Amino acid sequence: MNLHAIRAIYIFEMSRTWRTLLQSVVSPVISTSLYFVVFGAAIGSRIPEIEGVSYGSFIVPGLVMLSLLTQSIANASFGIYFPKFTGTIYELLSAPISYFEIVLGYVGAAATKSIILGLIILATAGLFVPLHIAHPFLMLTFLVLTSVTFSLLGFIIGIWADGFEKLQVVPLLIVTPLTFLGGSFYSINMLPPFWQTVTLFNPVVYLVSGFRWAFYEVADVSLGVSVGMTLLFLTACMAAIWYIFKTGYRLKN
């Protein structure tokens, strides 16, 4: 394995984060803080508890997951799209580095940024509501799995996109609505039976539910199902990337 090449890609991508610190870290943290103010204070005062957890604390895993999904996709998609846009992708493809090492460098950097951001948002949440993490190791496992999975999805989007506008299509029109409708701010048990069944087709439900269980041991679906769905989505993203490099889709033309 060419560790020097992986390290070069990783450090380059991480250095871009520190150059754009306001956009990469400060902006998502401020946005999440506003959610706490609006939902936690204004709405939370009218909803005392959900499944024995105060509303302000209940929405913490959902807010972290919302930032995690959008930032993982944004970091990875822009990271691989920019070399395509400038034409330097061809130098990368002709270098003595395997496709696996390219993905490892870009996705590893994007996932690292998202994990750091998720931990910062958790620390910020502690300033607004009392936090209790019943299973810290499981929480970190979900944090890492989700970051890697959606960084892989972002990598796929970055290769698929042929313009900067398309980089925003999936995060804004698909991922964000699915997150809002996936139990981030409520329990799906509060919905009528028909809509509970419909909501179970939303993959984000399983991510939020498993992540919330690590905090409060309350969940909309069982922990095993949440882990299984997350691993299934991770496998699907890896298979898609393997197909992209095997066929040269949007890379060799």
> Does 10 fall in a domain?
yes
How far from the centroid of its chain's Cα atoms is residue 103's Cα? 17
For 222, list phi and psi in degrees, rounded to 5. Answer: -65, 155
Per the CB < 8 A criterion, the answer to whether 55 and 134 are in contact is no
Q: Write out the chain's pLDDT in tens, 253 residues.
A: 788 888 988 998 888 777 777 777 777 888 877 877 777 666 666 777 788 888 888 888 988 998 899 889 988 998 899 888 887 888 887 888 888 999 999 999 999 999 998 998 888 888 888 888 999 999 999 999 999 999 999 999 999 988 888 888 888 888 888 988 888 888 898 889 999 999 999 999 999 999 999 999 998 899 999 999 999 999 999 999 999 888 888 776 5
Tell me which residue range forms the domain holding 71.
3-247
Q: How many domains does the chain have?
A: 1
Cβ-proximal residues to 233 (8 Å cutoff; 6+ apart), any chain = 149, 203
> Does 128 fall in a domain?
yes
> Does 200 fall in a domain?
yes
Q: Which residues pair with 100 in a beta bridge?
A: none
> Does 252 fall in a domain?
no
> Does 253 fall in a domain?
no
Report the predicted TM-score, pTM, of the whole model to 2 decimal places. 0.90
